[in-house]
């Protein structure tokens, strides 16, 4: 059986299956092991001899979107429990592993963010299996003069994890990762990194539909930072965090159908973007004029203003931003075309989004909902390209 065929039968991505096959992502969930064994026609014990022969798997708990692909199971296990308890309580047989250099850790963290921005979640999960433990252990053993640098790297890593979990609709895990990012950012002595962590936290709250918590977190953070720079021009990094928090608030209000407040937050973000003057990537937020307008498109779609979304989005050139941001624009343009009942244009946008970030389109709740609706609109005249896309995204029902 080909790797991509098995992945499709498991409702997983080919990259996830590749990482599992190479042993880079652990599969410890009994229900997932059982499914894999069933597809391969072998016993669970053949795949993992440590599983007792009397073990019986329970049916998986129903999810908000039970068919959604998730390539971050390994990363979810990684953040469960204390990350470096063996360092705090070493046993007589514990062997201390040498800590990687800060320079090596910097390179590895940059690579994780490259994978996050490209929505390559399976590869990202595999890279994190060693990176997170190395960072957590390094934080506790490096000389004191290097601790802030390692804390800064740890904060960035947990922010990447939180962003990825949000995109895979794993909001509870995103909450944990964002909280750890905020703590590490504070220990690094960088208060703006704390603000960036709050941005990730607010996104997790939105996915959990806890809009009051999302509003409180983002509003409190942006007010504090704006007060901090009230008597002087804000630095570019400050503008990036301020603008991103306003975009988070716009999403909160759009999800709550609070149209005036959502529009006010978009305008506040545009003001910060104009002051910034160029697209930047401070704290991996990708804030700038282009990303601000991409979020304006997303907000308009959330509010049901498809015409406005198309007016803004069709004039944008997102090619200088990450594949994830480009894909997000085309995904939202596809959703807007679905709202306007433009099936051809909607399919073109969704296929462009899939080409840029296939894992995002095939797992994102909004993308899969748009694909389902597009299939319903097309009915019996649905073109093969749409049916193939629906099959890849498991959006045929």
pLDDT (0 to 100) of residue 94: 60
pLDDT (0 to 100) of residue 375: 92
Domain extents in the chain: 1-62, 69-79+101-189, 209-305, 321-397
Report the mean per-residue pLDDT for the chain.
Answer: 89
| Residue range 92-101: mean pLDDT, rounded | 71
The pLDDT > 90 percentage for the chain reads: 65
The pLDDT > 70 percentage for the chain reads: 93
Contact yes or no for 395/372 (Cβ under 8 A):
yes
How far apart (Å, rounded) are the C-alpha atoms in residues 137 and 131?
Answer: 10
Domain 321-397 bears CATH identifier 1.25.40: yes
- The half-sphere exposure of 107 on its side-chain side, counting CA atoms within 13 A, is 4
| Residue range 285-305: mean pLDDT, rounded | 96
H or E element, residue 288 = none
- pLDDT (tens digit, 9 = 90+) per residue, 209-225? 999 999 999 999 999 99
CATH superfamily of 1-62: lambda repressor-like DNA-binding domains (1.10.260.40)
**Confidence band (pLDDT; 50, 70, 90) for 96?**
low
pTM for this predicted structure: 0.83
How far apart (Å, rounded) are the C-alpha atoms in residues 103 and 115?
Answer: 19
pLDDT (0 to 100) of residue 52: 66
pLDDT (0 to 100) of residue 54: 54
217-224: list long-range contacts, CB under 8 Å, 24+ apart. Answer: 218/245, 218/248, 218/249, 218/252, 219/249, 221/194, 221/195, 221/245, 222/195, 222/246, 222/249
How far apart (Å, rounded) are the C-alpha atoms in residues 329 and 316?
Answer: 9
- pLDDT (tens digit, 9 = 90+) per residue, 235-256? 999 999 999 999 999 999 999 9
- pLDDT (tens digit, 9 = 90+) per residue, 104-123? 999 999 999 999 998 888 89
Least confident of 7-11, 138-142, 191-195: 7-11
**Cα–Cα distance list, 370 to 46, 163, 170, 343 (Å):** 40, 22, 20, 11
pLDDT (0 to 100) of residue 6: 85
Q: Give the largest CA-CA distance in the chain.
A: 69
């Amino acid at each position: 059986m080909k790797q991509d065929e098995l992945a499709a039968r498991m409702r997983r991505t080919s990259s996830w299956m590749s990482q599992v096959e190479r042993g880079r992502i652990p599969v410890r969930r009994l229900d997932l092991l059982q499914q894999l064994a069933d597809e391969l026609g072998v016993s669970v014990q053949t795949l993992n001899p440590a599983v007792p022969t009397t073990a019986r798997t329970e049916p998986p708990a129903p999810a908000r979107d039970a068919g959604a692909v998730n390539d971050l199971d390994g990363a979810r296990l990684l953040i469960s429990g204390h990350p470096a308890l063996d360092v705090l309580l070493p046993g007589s047989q514990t062997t201390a592993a040498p800590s990687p250099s800060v320079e090596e850790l910097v390179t590895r963290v940059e690579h994780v963010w490259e994978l996050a921005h490209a929505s390559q979640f399976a590869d990202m999960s595999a890279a994190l299996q060693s990176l997170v433990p190395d960072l957590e252990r390094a934080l506790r053993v490096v000389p004191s003069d290097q601790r802030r640098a390692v804390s800064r790297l740890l904060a960035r890593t947990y922010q990447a994890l939180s962003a990825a979990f949000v995109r895979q609709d794993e909001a509870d895990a995103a909450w944990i990762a964002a909280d750890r990012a905020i703590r590490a950012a504070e220990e690094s002595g960088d208060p703006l990194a704390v603000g960036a962590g709050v941005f990730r936290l607010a996104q997790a709250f939105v996915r959990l539909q806890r809009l009051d918590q999302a509003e409180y977190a983002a509003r409190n953070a942006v007010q504090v930072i704006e007060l901090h720079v009230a008597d002087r021009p804000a630095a570019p990094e400050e503008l990036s965090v301020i603008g991103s928090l306003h975009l988070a608030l716009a999403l909160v209000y759009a999800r709550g159908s609070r149209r005036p407040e959502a529009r006010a937050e978009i305008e506040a973000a545009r003001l910060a973007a104009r002051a910034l003057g160029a697209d930047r990537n401070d704290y991996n937020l990708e804030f700038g004029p282009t990303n601000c307008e991409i979020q304006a498109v997303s907000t308009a779609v959330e509010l049901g203003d498809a015409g406005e979304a198309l007016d803004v989005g069709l004039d944008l050139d997102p090619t200088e931003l990450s594949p994830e941001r480009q894909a997000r624009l085309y995904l939202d343009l596809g959703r807007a075309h679905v709202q306007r009942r433009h099936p051809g244009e909607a399919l073109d946008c969704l296929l462009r989004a899939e080409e840029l970030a296939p894992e995002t389109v095939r797992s994102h709740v909004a993308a899969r909902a748009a694909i389902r609706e597009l299939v319903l609109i097309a009915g019996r005249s649905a073109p093969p390209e749409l049916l193939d896309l629906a099959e890849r995204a498991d959006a045929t029902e």
